[in-house]
Amino acid sequence: MRKSAHQRWNTMATVVTLAMVIGLGARMVANWQSDAAFAQEQPAAEEHTAPAPQAEGAPAEQAAAAQHEEAAAGEHAGEEHGLLDEIFHWFNFLLIVAGIWFFSKKMVGPFLNERAKAIREEMDCSARALELATQKLATVEDKLTNLERELQQLRNSSQTEAKAESARIEEASKADAEKIVRTAEQEIAAAAKAARRELKVYTAELAVSLAEKGIQSSINAQSDQQIFQFFVKTLGNESSSSDQPASKGGV
């Protein structure tokens, strides 16, 4: 901040100095031109103001000699005055040039040096920034290249994994389907076996029930008497057969 303010003050001082120098130069040129015009007009004025010629004779010659001497003295004085003015003008010019050179060296020189230094620093900063940007760009390009390669690898691995997963799911689906079919077949077989067992039991029970009903319907009082007589006869035969071995043993 101070550096920029110092540069602004130096710039303003330089501009003011140049304006003063230009003004003094213009004034010097104007004075120089006015002095030259005055030096040119003075002999003409002397010629116009010269007295009329007097009568012939000694007084006229003396007057002419006096006028000639005055004109010569005026011309000499004008020449001396013009020479002094010219010397003064050149001295002022050299003084102004020296002042310009001094102020330029004192103010403009440091300003230009600082400006050149600032420009060099900006150029160095720009070069460093450009180098850093180039490095970052190269890094980004490398990352992009690696990213594309990684993405391709991910796509390939994803496709491979998807195919493997699809095959695994298909195999698992087939195994599950076969397992379900086997389970269903086993359940159907068990159900059929149980149904056959129940059917056999039901058939046997039905046969026994029908037999009981048939026997009950076929038995009457005569049948009961015959069965009783057959039972008594059977018991009698069994008792007689058991007595015969005992008697044989006694003999």
Backbone angle region of 211, left / alpha / beta, with phi > 0 → left and psi within -120 to 50 → alpha: alpha
Higher pLDDT, 100 or 27: 100
pLDDT at 205: 82
> Could you tell me the pLDDT band of residue 132, with boundaries at 50, 70 and 90?
very high
pLDDT, tens digit, 9 for 90 and up, residues 148-191: 888 888 889 888 988 888 888 888 888 888 889 889 889 898 88
Say if pTM beats, i.e. exceeds, 0.75. no
pLDDT at 93: 79
Contact 78, 95 (CB under 8 A): no
Instruction: Give the CA count within 13 Å in the CB-facing half-sphere of 145.
Output: 6
Q: Which two tokens stand for residue 249?
A: 């043993």
Say yes or no to pLDDT of 250 above 70. Answer: no
pLDDT at 144: 86
Dihedral (Cα; 176, 179, 183, 189), 10-degree rounding: 140
pLDDT at 135: 92
pLDDT at 106: 72
Task: Among 8-22, 81-95, 105-119, name the one with the lowest average pLDDT.
Answer: 8-22
pLDDT at 65: 63
Higher pLDDT, 243 or 125: 125
230/218 Cα distance (integer angstroms)? 17
pLDDT at 131: 92
Residue found by looking up tokens 């007084």 in the block: 59
Q: Which two tokens stand for residue 121?
A: 């620093």
Contact 116, 73 (CB under 8 A): no
241/244 Cα distance (integer angstroms)? 6
> Could you tell me the pLDDT band of residue 96, with boundaries at 50, 70 and 90?
confident
| 115: CB partners within 8 A, 6+ apart | 7
Contact 21, 104 (CB under 8 A): no
9/168 Cα distance (integer angstroms)? 84
Taken in order 197, 203, 207, 212, the sign of the CA dihedral is positive
Higher pLDDT, 52 or 21: 21
pLDDT at 81: 58
pLDDT, tens digit, 9 for 90 and up, residues 37-72: 555 555 544 544 444 444 444 455 666 666 666 655
Taken in order 35, 40, 43, 48, the sign of the CA dihedral is negative
The average pLDDT across 209-234 equals: 69
